[in-house]
Structure 1
Amino acid sequence: MPPYEDWNKIDEEEDEELQDASIYEMKRDVILFCIDCSESMLKLYDDPKYEDVQTCHLYTALEAAMQIQKKKIIVGPNDSVGILLFNTTRKSETTRTQGSEIKRNTFLFQPISPLSASTVQEVIQLLDAAREEPGELRKTFPPLTTGRVPMGDVFTSCNWVLRDGAPKTASKRVFLITDEDDPHPAAGSKQLITSARTTLIDLTQAGVAVEPFFISTEEKPFDVSNFYSSVLLPTNLGDEDELQEESSVLPESISISRIEDLLSQMRFHEVPKRSLFSIPFKLGDGFTIGIKGYGLVTEQKKGSYKYFVDLGDRMEVATVRTSYVDEDRQADIDKTKIVYGADLGAGGIADGDEDNEESSGTFGARVVKAGSRPFYTAEEIRSFRTLGLEPGIRLLGFKDRSELRFEDNVKHSQFIYPDEMSYSGSKRTFSALLQTMVKKGKIAIALALTRRNASPVFCALLPQEERNDETGWADPAGFHLIPLPFADDIRMAPIDEAFRASDELKASARAWIDKLVVKNGAYPPDSYPNPALAYHNAQLQASAFREQYDPDSFEDLTEPKVGSMHKRAGKLMKEWKTAIAEDDSASLVIPATTGSKRKADVSVDEAEIKSKYDSGALAKLRVDQLKEFLKSKGQNISGKKAELVERVSDWFDAH
């Protein structure tokens, strides 16, 4: 049974007013590409894709930034991107209004601004020139030959650039790309490390996440422990003192063994980790921590379209506005005066009955007489739905992990993580609760209300420890928030006993299945985009940049590689099919069970058909009704619907 009827559904615009403004945080994404422009990044080497062509690390980094910008124009037109180069002697132009306080030997190539085709074309033209003349990037961005820019100054410049250009409610990230693992090898490096870590903390406290992309080659391997493991902040749950003592490689550091992998790695990080909600987690009376919730399973859809007005010389975006109009007065109605009522049929307020109208609750007293329709304000409907609760999660108790069954997960779960910015100490308390529940094999039962206009639901909190595998994918530490079903949400499915395969058939099937398992046993969804969505975005991208699109060049990554599959396990699959055909159960015939289907009622009154004939609406009748009428009159019932309608019309004309 649905939790409320149609009358209890508030319009989307009204729904936005009732929701907490915190759910609109992180709606926009801002990425600042912070690219090293040192001598090693500009060193030319042979391009692995094209013959007789030379390239450099800076060219590949700028190309990756350009590809991300081109894609975001389609999938995230409201996002913003900027490019900051450091370790270059090129000075910032005085005409630029953003990032005017950036440090010396850092150059703001593109300030933070909404995505547009012109800004992307600027990078494309630079890359085309660098492709024709490999030394073009060195001329455009001359590298710093004496020393290097302190990383503290780099983080400070990033902070200023984002402060000037990024919206306050956006998710702000810095993509740091460099191939230098020890930027401060000289004396005084300890002080520079402390300065870099301090400025990075200031950057993160401003809501900015730094995601590094470290370039490592055979000639110049990248060692994170030389500098960045002491500067970049780890994100795993635990005690801060213990984390500082750990010398392991940071979980978020990305070591790229081949520069060609830079773009493919960025594709996994280009989608921001937007939180669905940020609410308090009440562990007891007066004991509250902050958490953020994330959706682990989300379908990526086409972007929403907009309405444009053709003004002759230009196209302007039309602003959509919803207004409620009184038909009698032809005037806009204040939304605060609109009330909601259930559709109870012909009852309700009688015309001219002012006393009854007053008692119904539209104004005056809120007493509803028998037979009258009750009305409710938007605030009252919200109180019905939320039961008067404020958004948050309240811990009710604990159960053994075995109490949580497979069929209890009837909806997509959400993942919660501590929010240190809301309540100090949330991370440490959250970690202690998580580790204790894992150690004792418990799950938690909680009452959750994730936003103001939602309904509270009972949920199970399933703890998850942090795990790393060989593929580099990590399961973060946190809780899965699983909505628990009501009793009528679960129905017992009928169990039909079927024939069981023999052990020989199972072994034969397992032989070819083992040959076709996914590589490394992991399935990264970002590596297999939706082909329909990717094809649509590719055409939009070509149209936006006035490029000719070749449909034959589109590659569907979800198509199975039939050739390699048959090469690996073709012989084993043939043996399995032969074994199935020779099995005794293959010759058994199971009678199909079909239910009795009730025939549709085709009876129709002649007076009704006559009324349809008089109003010219015979085409609204079904074909079976037309045939039934013609059959009763002894007429021919063959032919299409248009012929049947004409035949019925001719009969009424003659009679």
Structure 2
Amino acid sequence: MPPFDDWNIIDEEEDEELQDAAFFEGKRDVILFCIDCSESMHELRDDPNYDDVKTSHLFTALEAAMQIQKKKVIVGPNDSVGIVLFNTTRSSETKNHATEIKKNSFAYQPITIISAPAIQELIQLLDAAREDPDLLKSTFPPLTGKKMPMGDVFTSCNWVLRDGAPKTATKRVFLITDDDNPHPGSKQLVTSARTTLLDLTQSGVQIEPFFIATPEKPFEPSKFYSSVLLSNVLNDEDEDTGVLPESISITRIDDLLSQMRFHEVPKRALFSIPFQLADGFVISIKGYGLVTEQRKGIYKYFIDLGDHMEVANSRTVYVDEDQQAEVDKTEMVYGMALGTAPVEGASDDEGEGGDTVCRVVPTGKRPFYTADEIRSFRTLDLEPGIKLLGFKDPIELAFEDNVKHSVFIYPDESKYSGSKRTFAALLKKMIEKKKIGLVLALTRSNFAPVFCAMLPQAESTEEGGWNEPAGFHLIPLPFADDIRAAPLETAFRAPDELKDAARLWIDKLCVKDGTYPPDSHPNPALAYHNAQLQASAFREEFDPEAFEDLTRPKYDMIHKRAGNLMKEWKRALLTDESANVVPVTTGSKRKADVSVDEAEIRSKHEVGALAKLRVDQLKDFLKSKSQPVSGKKAELIERVSDWLDAH
């Protein structure tokens, strides 16, 4: 049978869900930076990166907003970003909003699609503020003697998002402040802030707080924010049993960016489908991809119209070769290439007498199917959903069964009321009884159904506030064709002394806390590509020498920690007999190396000894210089001589 891509794709434009990337690129992301402009945020401090330079927390927050926007120019050019400042006496001058925002708040950058001019304006402001540290304080005067109610802050964010953000976008507010108690002793303002925040979250907006702490002034969320920004729990939404994690100590731009990197990509669900536990017993769940490969952006074609460039929109058209006219897609049928025509006189009675209905195809012709039939072949006439088939012991889930990335599923209360409660009860019992689930899953309407193992995960909290949520990992189980048995061969085993010597230096080089943060080690090829695009977008000069490859090993630290232990292990390895045994294998014939260095050919040409070269060597040289390689040896020698004389 031909590959899947040859005949089993029905309609590229209508069935975009065949491409997983469409789910990540289809929904826009909106980030609103809500930055505190109080007197403490304007207080000048020593810059950690530059000597004799004073900066403030406000400068750090604006620089972080600028860096996020510069990155989104490459990874999310269709996303939108805005900046709102509160606790400032500067009044809002923008007229783009249908409703004015609250007093003592200022919309510095309304929510608009990422654009280079807006980012360059912010860059110019930061460059001027680095030269004149008091510029930000004069540009955004702080509110003195009192604080703006946080309820009004959340209301202003709601109005700005309502007027500027697309309705179908993922909307988030990055709240940056260093004040852990804006309303001391006022229960009314706390209640108002919590009520307005609830209105904000019910409209589909997520709050991502970033608290700035210093050694002189630690941030304690228990004073105010733990009673306003309550964490989500798996149980009913009315049960506020969780508390806000400890504050994130942010004193430098690198710290703020490293924390924002975890929150930068919105958590978009790959699918939202029903989960059938039994006949007539259904809840709703959402699936999230935990591992996604980040790739370069899609290239676009441009038309040069002389004074400007315009994007060329491409589309696929199917044309009838005989009539030279466009064919309606609804009239198209699909088929696959078969083998040779059947032998004459072969029996065609197979299938007679049974209940199977077969399509009669003339000899030498192909069987064709409609789009609905192809979709039926793929989905087996199943609707999207997950059906629970039973339970197994965890020991029956083998390591080699995990051949694809798993999907994390979580309950969705919006479709079926009580989904969270039922989901939590099932999760609790499966963890208690130490069982895994076996399900039949069809995650999208145009996907193929697959059997999956449902591995439960209990909620766990770690230091710093990061935790693993409670839910199930949906692990696609392989079919028999997906697994190949590895050849079992006898290997040489190292003695225990050699293993112990290796374990000493391995323990010295283990990752801290046993966790590997992938966001701290971006793909160097992709980062280099994005850095060039970013420099081109902002008309900056790109310096390849300034690019830093974060995946490059820190050799100095490695030798400092384990250099002596590695030398001892290497000496023990050289004296061990099992390490010096060379297994005898049957060799395979290799193609002769015909490449000859250009300097060698030129030296033979100078002494008139080109005839000593073989024909394949002459052809290889001419081919590398984009010269014709046809003809006899004398012609090849003459062609090589002419090229060398000309160059």
Report the TM range for the smaller structure's normalisation. Answer: 0.7 to 0.9
Do structure 1's residue 342 and structure 2's residue 327 form an aligned pair?
Answer: no
- Partner secondary structure for residue 191 of structure 1: helix
Question: Which 4+ residue blocks in structure 1 deviate beyond 6 angstroms?
Answer: 17-22, 635-638, 641-644
Q: Distance in 2 between matches of 1:155 and 1:286?
A: 42
Do structure 1's residue 495 and structure 2's residue 494 form an aligned pair?
Answer: no
Q: Distance in 2 between matches of 1:2 and 1:394?
A: 31
CA pair 637-322 structure 1, distance change in 2 beyond 3 A: closer
Deviation, 1:99, is 5.9
Q: Is the 8 A contact 1:33 1:176 kept in 2?
A: yes
CA pair 324-24 structure 1, distance change in 2 beyond 3 A: farther
Alignment map for 1:247-266 (pairs within 5 Å): 248=243, 250-251=244-245, 254-260=247-253, 261-266=255-260
1:285-340: CA deviations, max 9, x gaps? 22222222111111111111111111122111111222222333333222222221
Q: Which residue in 1 is equivalent to 2:169? A: 170
* Residue among 618, 635, 640 paired with 2:619: 640
1:99-126: CA deviations, max 9, x gaps? 6332221111111111010010111111
Superposition RMSD on alpha carbons, in Å? 2.8
List gaps (5 residues or longer) in structure 2: 343-357, 592-613, 623-627, 636-647
- Partner secondary structure for residue 578 of structure 2: helix
Q: Which residue in 1 is equivalent to 2:360? A: 368
Do structure 1's residue 152 and structure 2's residue 151 form an aligned pair?
Answer: yes
Q: Which residue in 2 is equivalent to 1:319? A: 313
Q: Which residue in 2 is equivalent to 1:288? A: 282
1:123-160: CA deviations, max 9, x gaps? 11111121121111111111112422222221122122
Deviation, 1:503, is 1.6
Do structure 1's residue 228 and structure 2's residue 228 form an aligned pair?
Answer: no
CA pair 575-555 structure 1, distance change in 2 beyond 3 A: same
Do structure 1's residue 76 and structure 2's residue 76 form an aligned pair?
Answer: yes
Q: Distance in 2 between matches of 1:24 and 1:575?
A: 50
Deviation, 1:236, is 3.6
Q: Distance in 1 between matches of 2:525 and 2:615?
A: 48
> For structure 1, which segment, 500-509 or 447-456, has the greater mean C-alpha deviation from structure 2 after superposition?
500-509
Q: Is the 8 A contact 1:22 1:277 kept in 2?
A: no
- Equivalenced residue count is 591
Alignment map for 1:91-106 (pairs within 5 Å): 91-93=91-93, 95-98=94-97, 100-106=99-105
Q: Which residue in 2 is equivalent to 1:213? A: 210
CA pair 639-122 structure 1, distance change in 2 beyond 3 A: closer
- Partner secondary structure for residue 420 of structure 2: helix
Q: Distance in 1 between matches of 2:617 and 2:556?
A: 52
AA in 2 matched with 1:153: D
Q: Which residue in 2 is equivalent to 1:36? A: 36
Deviation, 1:162, is 1.4
- Partner secondary structure for residue 283 of structure 1: strand
Q: Is the 8 A contact 1:26 1:170 kept in 2?
A: no
- Partner secondary structure for residue 373 of structure 1: coil
1:332-367: CA deviations, max 9, x gaps? 22222222122236769xxxxxxxxxxxxxxxxx96
List gaps (5 residues or longer) in structure 1: 349-365, 600-634, 651-655
- Partner secondary structure for residue 381 of structure 1: helix
Deviation, 1:386, is 0.7
Q: Which residue in 2 is equivalent to 1:185? A: 184
Q: Distance in 2 between matches of 1:344 and 1:171?
A: 47
Q: Distance in 1 between matches of 2:19 and 2:561?
A: 55
CA pair 445-85 structure 1, distance change in 2 beyond 3 A: same
Q: Which residue in 2 is equivalent to 1:115? A: 114
CA pair 637-151 structure 1, distance change in 2 beyond 3 A: closer
Q: Distance in 1 between matches of 2:327 and 2:544?
A: 51
Deviation, 1:417, is 1.6
Q: Which residue in 2 is equivalent to 1:278? A: 272
Q: Distance in 2 between matches of 1:147 and 1:209?
A: 27
Q: Distance in 2 between matches of 1:86 and 1:574?
A: 59
Q: Distance in 2 between matches of 1:325 and 1:586?
A: 65
CA pair 219-330 structure 1, distance change in 2 beyond 3 A: same
Q: Which residue in 1 is equivalent to 2:293? A: 299
Q: Distance in 2 between matches of 1:463 and 1:2?
A: 39
Q: Is the 8 A contact 1:25 1:170 kept in 2?
A: no
CA pair 504-18 structure 1, distance change in 2 beyond 3 A: closer
Q: Distance in 1 between matches of 2:258 and 2:21?
A: 35
Q: Is the 8 A contact 1:535 1:554 kept in 2?
A: yes
Sequence identity of aligned pairs in percent? 69
Q: Distance in 2 between matches of 1:481 and 1:25?
A: 23
Q: Is the 8 A contact 2:17 2:23 kept in 1?
A: no
1:506-565: CA deviations, max 9, x gaps? 111111111111122211000011111111111111111111222111111111111111
AA in 2 matched with 1:529: P
AA in 2 matched with 1:308: F
1:189-223: CA deviations, max 9, x gaps? 22222222222222222221110001111222111
Q: Which residue in 2 is equivalent to 1:127? A: 126
Deviation, 1:383, is 1.5
Do structure 1's residue 269 and structure 2's residue 277 form an aligned pair?
Answer: no
CA pair 150-644 structure 1, distance change in 2 beyond 3 A: closer
Q: Is the 8 A contact 1:26 1:275 kept in 2?
A: no
Q: Is the 8 A contact 2:230 2:240 kept in 1?
A: no
